[in-house]
Amino acid sequence: MCGIVGYIGKKEALPILINGLRRLEYRGYDSAGVAIFQNGKIKKTKAVGKIDSLSEKVKTADMVGTVGIAHTRWATHGGVTEDNAHPHSGCQDDLVICHNGIIENYRELKEKFLSGHTIKSQTDTEILAHLIEVFYEGDLLTAVRKALSEVRGTYGLVAMHAGEPNKIVAARLGSPLVIGVGENEYYIASDTSPMLAHTKNVVFLDDGEVAEITLDSMKIFNVDHKIMDKHVEKIEWNEAQAQKQGFDHFMLKEIFDQPTVVKDAIRGRFSLEDGAAHLGGLNMTDEQMHQVKRVVMLSCGTAYYAGLVGKYAFERLAGLPTEADVASEFRYRDPIIDEHTLVFAISQSGETADTIAALREAKRKGAFVRGIVNVVGSSIARETDGGTYIHAGPELAVASTKAYTNMVAVLILYALQFGRLNRVSVATGERLLRALLEIPEKMKLVLAQSEKIKAIAQKYKDYKDCIFLGRGINYPVALEGALKLKEISYIHSEAYPGGEMKHGPIALLSENFPIIAIATKNQLYEKMISNIQEAKARKAPIILIATEGDAQAKEISDDVIYVPQTMELLEPLVNTLALQLFSYHTAVLLGKDVDRPRNLAKSVTVE
């Protein structure tokens, strides 16, 4: 996501900040900006596009000084424009902030505190800048603390005020911030990569902490405003390791990101009290929602499998006939679409050519077309008449992982939103939401088994073929598991619904053809176990994804990966992680280029 860099010391700040931003480029961004203290004032420069554009612009901006902050922005609220780029100020230019994260209650804050303020951008961050300005009475630390006490959301924040030169205030809640400790100088950044060339000694801020950093001291306060004696850690990572936050590959980092980013997908989009979801981006009145008689999911690859999960969710919760369609097929059929059809175009990149063409076709036919997209401002986001960003953050590995889980989470919320119109009670809605809120912890329990899954991958890595089996909501999980394994390990893998195996694929089975089956404790458990017995009778080695505590799973399989139980509709959010890890470890053990598999592109912009 966005990146923050700050510097306070005796050296010229500008080159340190610009180089620091370059170290953060890997996170993805679409604009950048920098602010420097200069002769009692703060000077700002911003640019849309690459850091090179910013670097060109600052050449003529005469920015000289030894204290400053800088930012790379990956758009979330508001398009990619210079006004929306950070640093942001209040009404006066003497205060600047850079912010990562999301201020959920920015509308309320604006209404409550900012009458008479002129807001120049569409960002939630600018509201925070104005709020700090409101509370500023000569002490930046106090103003930041007061403003943050009003905020609901997440932040990694750095702030400077012209009235207090040689001071940076930093704060963290849910969005990382690190302080690098040099000789009479400090570096601040959203991860360690911008500071590694200067210092290996760092302090990681914890949630709720606020730091006041001056030329010769760094004070860190906890939520109760007590000074903390924080441990200075020595970082042994090189820059590439730092960008992957110590993980060996971006894919593994992104798999481990899931418990955090799934929270971003659901945060602020539901009400437990009403047992309901409120996705404002749907942009439809209740009357229009009642007009919907059919739902169609359009997408490709992993996003298609997320759409398939969405089909199960919409049918079950909203009672609406729902189809998930591969976008490249949809556009060349004569699909039955009319003004009673709601179409979701689902895409991580928002640039997939087939999905764009399919959504245009659906629009031509008069459907309501909404996007479920990760990249803000992308073509699909722009061409749809509303929709929702999944907030997975930049996905850099070619194989999609965290975008899939966030798509599924958003689709489940949409299904609930429609379900609450007439089918789902408040109590049922609340039960689903409570179960959804438990998902991040359940994901962590799967991730904690990474080493065990690696040992299983070691055992099976040399097989040339395999079949994934699942039923019901776990059939799309099986499809996604097979796709992930084939695209990064190049092992031939297919997926079938458990009941379909006996109609053909069973002919393939032998001791050389493993089965990976999802047999968690849900309404189809017994049926799935019968299908597994059929495979076992043909001597196929069996790997099971089973529910914690299921003793039978051990008896009928060669290896089991246990996952925590959740509501059946939410199982893809947990079970898929086990398969992602299995594919990842298999590919690494086979020596494959996991982040950049052969023949694949991250964004498929051709038909």
Sequence-distant (6+) residues with CB within 8 A of 350 are 371, 373, 374, 375, 378, 379, 380, 381
Sequence-distant (6+) residues with CB within 8 A of 510 are 538, 539, 540
Of residues 152, 145, 160, the one with CA closest to residue 109: 152
Question: Is 2 an annotated catalytic residue?
Answer: yes
- DSSP-derived pairing of the beta strands 210-214 and 218-221: antiparallel
Of residues 2, 26, 33, the one with CA closest to residue 101: 2
Residues that bind ligand F6R (CB under 6 A): 300-303, 347-349, 352, 355, 399-400, 483, 487, 603-604
Residue closer to ligand F6R, measured from CB, 180 or 371: 371
Residue closer to ligand F6R, measured from CB, 557 or 583: 583
Residue closer to ligand F6R, measured from CB, 190 or 302: 302
Residue nearest ligand F6R, Cβ-based: 301
CB 294, min distance to ligand F6R, A: 22
CB 306, min distance to ligand F6R, A: 8
CA distance 575 to 584: 15
Residue closer to ligand F6R, measured from CB, 165 or 307: 307
CB 132, min distance to ligand F6R, A: 37
Residue closer to ligand F6R, measured from CB, 85 or 491: 491
CB 255, min distance to ligand F6R, A: 12
C-alpha torsion 392→393→395→400, nearest 10: 0
The structure tokens 């609450």 sit at 420
Cβ-in-10-Å burial (0-12, 13-18, 19+) of 174 comes to: middle
Q: What are the tokens at 124?
A: 């939630």
DSSP 8-state code for residue 280: G
CB 321, min distance to ligand F6R, A: 24
Residue closer to ligand F6R, measured from CB, 301 or 310: 301
Catalytic residue among 230, 452, 527, 602: 602
Residue closer to ligand F6R, measured from CB, 348 or 489: 348
C-alpha torsion 37→39→44→50, nearest 10: -70
Q: In what order do the strands lie in the sheet with 155-161?
A: 95-100, 155-161, 167-173, 210-214, 218-221
Amino acid present at 444:
K
Tell me the torsion sign for CA atoms 588, 591, 596, 597: negative
For residue 26, give the 3-state DSSP assignment: helix
Q: What positions carry a catalytic annotation?
A: 2, 602
